[in-house]
Each structure stands twice: as structure tokens, then as C-alpha cells.
Amino acid sequence: QVPLVESGGGVVQPGGSLRLSCVASGFAFSGFGMHWVRQAPGKGLEWVAFIRFDGFYKFYADSVKGRFTTSRDNSNNTLYLQMSSLTSEDTAVYYCAKDQLRYDPEAFDIWGQGTMVTVSS
């Protein structure tokens, strides 16, 4: 079983919207904070968003604030990233990643395989 599996990527027109999903298995999903990290083609890693284990705290990168929303459904072990007002700058592979510890900021110990989002007309 793959611990994190993203889906929902695809080609979307500028200004459009897309929702990514990340299904978790093999660990207590509801006990850990989750992140979204993206990587534009040929570029480095960019942290995008965080949601605490209970969904009550969220943080976003300035580059996506006001356009992206992350949420989670702990009953279905699923993390979401709702993306809107997309531009070509959002074209990237999007990874979900798990916090190693529940409370202390230590590292992202499990990553999904990524899902590609292409913003193009």
C-alpha cells in the first residue's frame, strides 16, 4: 500500500479551478499535520500549504494565499487542495506530504508520488 496517493491533476485554462486530492493509508492520518509542496518543471521545491491534524490551523505561501484552500476529511483519510484563479505560474507537480511528528516541526517523512497540474490555454 502506498501511504499517500495524489490525484486530480490535469490541464486547466488560465483563470480556472482544480481540486487535488491526497488519500492516505497505513498510518493514523487524523493524527498528523499535512502539507502541499509543488515543483515547477525543472525547478526546486516550493512549500504551498499546511493544515493541522484537526483542520483548525492552516498556513499558506504568499504566492497562493487567497486563491488556494486546503482542507481535510479525517473520516475518509483524505487531504484536499482547492485551487482557483490559476495562472501559468501554478504549473507544477503537486505533492502532499506528512509531518513526521504531531506537534513538533521536524520534517516531512512521507510524500506522495505527485500529480501534475498544467495551466495553459
Partner 1 sequence: DIQLTQSPSFLSASVGDRVTITCRASQGISSYLAWYQQKPGTAPKLLIYAASTLQSGVPARFSGSGSGTEFTLTLNNLQPEDFATYYCQQLSRYPRTFGQGTKVEIK
Binding site for partner 1 (CB under 8 A): 35, 37, 44-47, 50, 59, 61-62, 95, 100, 105-109, 111-114
The C-alpha cell that represents 2 in the structure block: 502506498
Q: Which three cell numbers stand for residue 57?
A: 490551523
Task: Specify the 3-state DSSP secondary structure of 29.
Answer: helix
54 or 109: CB nearest partner 1: 109
For the bound state, the minimum distance from the C-beta of residue 75 to partner 1, rounded and expressed in Å, comes to 26
Separation CA 39–CA 96 (nearest Å)? 12
Minimum gap (Å) between residue 16 Cβ and partner 1? 25
Of 67, 35, 26, nearest to 53 (Cα)?
A: 35
- Residue closer to partner 1 (CB basis): 27 or 111: 111
How far apart are CB 79 and partner 1 at their closest, in Å?
Answer: 15
How open is the CA angle 98-101-104, to the nearest 5 degrees? 120
Rounded distance, CA 10 to CA 97, Å?
20
With respect to partner 1, which residue has the nearer C-beta, 5 or 73? 5
**CB of residue 4 vs partner 1: minimum separation in angstroms?**
9
- If the CB atoms of residues 16 and 45 are measured against partner 1, the closer one turns out to be 45
